[in-house]
Amino acid sequence: MKIVIIGAGISGISTYLFLKKHLPNPASPAEPHQLIIYEGHEANKELKRQLYSKDATEQTTNTIAIGGGLGLGPNGLKCLERLDEALFHDVVRSGHTITQWRMSCARGWELASIGIQTEEDPPTNSVMIGRQALWHCMRQYVPDIAIVHKKISKVVAAAGQRPMVSFDDGAADIECDMVLGCDGLRSIVRKSMFHNEGDESSEKYPPHYEGLVGVGGFIPSSYLRDNGVKNGEKGIVFGANGFFGYGYNTTSPEGQSRNLPHETCDPGDEANWWSTYYLDECPDWRSIDSEDAKRQLIARHSSWKNPVIQKIIKNVKIDSLYPTWTTPGLPTWERAGLVLIGDAADALHPSSGQGANQALEDSECFALLLAHHLKATYLKPERSQQETERLAGEQAAKNYSNMRIPRIEKIHQRSAALGDFKKPKNLVQEMLMYLFIWSMKFFRVDTHTRELTNYDVPSEVGKMLAASRGK
């Protein structure tokens, strides 16, 4: 099969690696599968700047986590461990293991401390890590020759025909067996799948602005350490006029077990912070008045009784705004040889804490399904190898879409409700919010959290395939 992956962000690279790991090659003399990643930016220069820098914006190939950092939950870490143990250890070593979320409020009240880990022994915790650090760890496992730096202008697909990919520079179109859209929030592949009849430039499911804007970035870890933030602790602070978060995202090189997510070590030099607030209309994130943004940050949080927040807001510079965009619910994630993976299919509310985790689940799920159906069809081939592989890809894509959509819908519903905590509140609403969060400490872990952290992609794929055979 010739498979084109559009986008060399986290979802594109993980998809490439999972496919390389799992796809069976056809019997000789047929040629092995060809996997090509197309990325519009130079990976070691432009992508690195955009995915990590403090002036990164929503226009990047894959959406940026607020503050340049993200959380890998136990489910995402398990995906990486199954993919490659060395990669898994590299990632954990490059981040900071989080053993608890310490929740408090703007009035200085401690509300709850909640552990987010698996129930196994030893438990797998979450890891906070810079988005660029995660991308860099994964990128090292992909050969340079696998990534072609060309911007895609259009993808055309029709039932029964091979997809065609067009390039922005006018280079000759290429034909392939499948196009995997790992191209983020502003996905060209999604736009090709869903546009109004007769108008290919239109988009039926454009990204949705959630009414929330974030600011954030990287800070010295001493801002946290000097104000009593413990190793493995992530600060979550709620208020009537917004939200503030902070946490370590690096680990000291001297930590003996820093490559394992079972216990925490001393932090490294870097931490990150983020502040989210309500804004009815999406701001122009291309043009920002840094001084005004700083004044607004101080105005929102200067009365909050938290020494870490006061230290941060007095010392940071704001270079970017991060409007919260999500991908609308889609009727399907596949059509005529096109498949959506990661943010292209399921850009979630940041409150979910699941963006990168779900991209990894998507990648592993699709790779396992395609591998299964290729193995099955190679045993009973059609008249041509191309037709055999087309049927396998078609069935895998349908299974993938049917599996992933219900899971993402559940996560989206929950995260949308949590996102409401960040919107303005009157006194009664504020107190009810605090009461709800305070009550969470009486429950070690809720059903939703178990469903997130205990989700095992290979097991779920096996269940789905077994159910399909039983029909």
**Model pTM?**
0.90
Class of domain 2-470: alpha beta
Average pLDDT rounded to a whole number, residues 295-324 = 92
Q: Lowest mean pLDDT: which of 46-50, 241-245, 260-264, 372-376? A: 46-50
Residue 260 has pLDDT above 90, yes or no: no
Residue 443 has pLDDT above 80, yes or no: no
Q: Which tokens go with 198?
A: 């007769």
Average pLDDT score, the chain: 86
Among 277, 168, 132, 308, residue whose Cα is nearest residue 215: 277
Q: Lowest mean pLDDT: which of 246-255, 346-355, 414-423? A: 414-423
Q: How far lies 50's CA from each of 9, 56, 64, 132, 313, in Å?
A: 11, 5, 9, 9, 24
96-98 and 100-105 beta bridge pairing: unpaired
On whether the CB atoms of residues 190 and 181 are closer than 8 A, the answer is: yes
Q: Lowest mean pLDDT: which of 50-59, 100-109, 224-233? A: 50-59
pLDDT band (50, 70, 90) for residue 382: low
Average pLDDT rounded to a whole number, residues 73-78 = 93
Average pLDDT rounded to a whole number, residues 137-154 = 94
The pLDDT value recorded for residue 223 is 96
What is the rounded distance in angstroms from the CA atom of residue 370 to the CA atom of residue 397? 8
Domain range summary for the chain, segments of one domain joined by +: 2-470
Residue 429 has pLDDT above 70, yes or no: yes
Residue 120 has pLDDT above 80, yes or no: no
On whether the CB atoms of residues 279 and 212 are closer than 8 A, the answer is: yes
What is the rounded distance in angstroms from the CA atom of residue 366 to the CA atom of residue 343? 15
Report the share of the chain in percent with pLDDT over 90.
Answer: 54
What is the rounded distance in angstroms from the CA atom of residue 365 to the CA atom of residue 319? 37
Average pLDDT rounded to a whole number, residues 437-453 = 72
What is the rounded distance in angstroms from the CA atom of residue 19 to the CA atom of residue 3? 10
Residue 346 has pLDDT above 50, yes or no: yes
Report the share of the chain in percent with pLDDT over 70.
Answer: 90
100-105 and 34-38 beta bridge pairing: unpaired
Higher pLDDT: 307 or 317? It is: 307
pLDDT band (50, 70, 90) for residue 446: low
Task: Read off the pLDDT of residues 155-194 as tens digits, 9 standing for 90 and up.
Answer: 998 888 899 999 998 899 999 999 999 999 999 999 999 9
Task: Read off the pLDDT of residues 22-75 as tens digits, 9 standing for 90 and up.
Answer: 999 888 777 889 999 999 877 545 444 444 443 333 333 333 344 478 889 999
The pLDDT value recorded for residue 164 is 94
pLDDT band (50, 70, 90) for residue 92: very high
The pLDDT value recorded for residue 471 is 61
